[in-house]
Amino acid sequence: MSLRDLDLPTPTDLNHRWAAEAAIWNARGWDDVRAEGPVRHHGDGGGNWASMVLLPEGRALLFGQDHEYSQTFAGETAQEFGVEPTDILAGAPAWWGEALEQHFNQEFGPWVAFAYGWEDGRWQRAEYAAEDGFEELELPFLSHDDTVASLVDFLDTTALDEQLEAEVDQEAVDALVQAGPAVTEEQLAAVAFSGWDVAKGVAAARAFVL
């Protein structure tokens, strides 16, 4: 069975922008976005998540779930929802399943709805008709501009929630995203609010250094 090619950024580019998001979230005091060894994790705080594991030989696996939109169920879950089961690993090389078995943490969610493999300079996934929820996740680090926009929105929302009279400096956010894992305390402090732990945010970003 053949695999479908996907138009997604390289793992290196994803990792770089992921680090910028982690810096701000962790400075805020939330660890839903983080790197742990070779695994990068993004949780939206509402039960939707994605993880990427960086593997030897230049491989990577991007996997996750949207609890509202993912329809790729297998086994007992498919029976429970009364739908045809979907094999998200159909036709995939063995290392995809091995990586999932080793790195999927069920604290993220009850099941994995998509698994995309990176090898030989391209992302691929299995062929299936059911919606896997990836697009609905709207991961913020699929482009530089998306990352900047997402972090500006996060900061604006935080200011509103905390009733702060503060304007978000979009140029400073852009510089932070450009820096990625190399973000400095000065760059993070330029966008952080009073009381945030800038050192913790920088440390979270450093965990993404390749």
pLDDT of residue 128: 96
Q: Give tens-digit pLDDT for 7-35.
A: 999 999 999 999 999 999 999 999 999 99
Rounded distance between C-alpha atoms, residue 103 and residue 125, angstroms? 18
Angle (CA) 78 70 129, round 5°: 75
Rounded distance between C-alpha atoms, residue 62 and residue 92, angstroms? 13
pLDDT of residue 74: 82
pLDDT of residue 165: 75
Quote the mean pLDDT of the chain: 94
What confidence category does residue 1 fall into, taking pLDDT thresholds of 50, 70 and 90? Answer: low
Q: Give tens-digit pLDDT for 52-94.
A: 999 999 999 999 999 999 999 887 777 887 888 999 999 999 9
Rounded distance between C-alpha atoms, residue 110 and residue 9, angstroms? 27
Kindly state the tokens that stand for 77.
């879950």
Buried b (16+ CB within 10 A) or exposed e, 9-43: bebeebbbbbbbbbbbbbbbeeebbbbeeebbbbb
H/E element, 202: helix 198-206
What confidence category does residue 166 fall into, taking pLDDT thresholds of 50, 70 and 90? Answer: confident
Asked whether residue 154 carries a pLDDT value surpassing 70, the answer given is yes
- Are 156 and 174 spatial neighbours (Cβ–Cβ below 8 Å)? no
Q: Between the CA atoms of 161, 151, 65 and 82, what dihedral angle is there, to the nearest 10 degrees?
A: 50
List the single range of 43-47, 63-67, 141-145 with lowest mean pLDDT: 43-47
What confidence category does residue 119 fall into, taking pLDDT thresholds of 50, 70 and 90? Answer: very high
pLDDT of residue 6: 98
Phi, psi (degrees; rounded to nearest 5) at 30: -110, 130
- Are 25 and 32 spatial neighbours (Cβ–Cβ below 8 Å)? yes
Asked whether residue 114 carries a pLDDT value surpassing 80, the answer given is yes
Average pLDDT over residues 116-134: 97
Alpha-carbon distances, residue 137 vs 95, 133, 142 (angstroms): 25, 6, 11
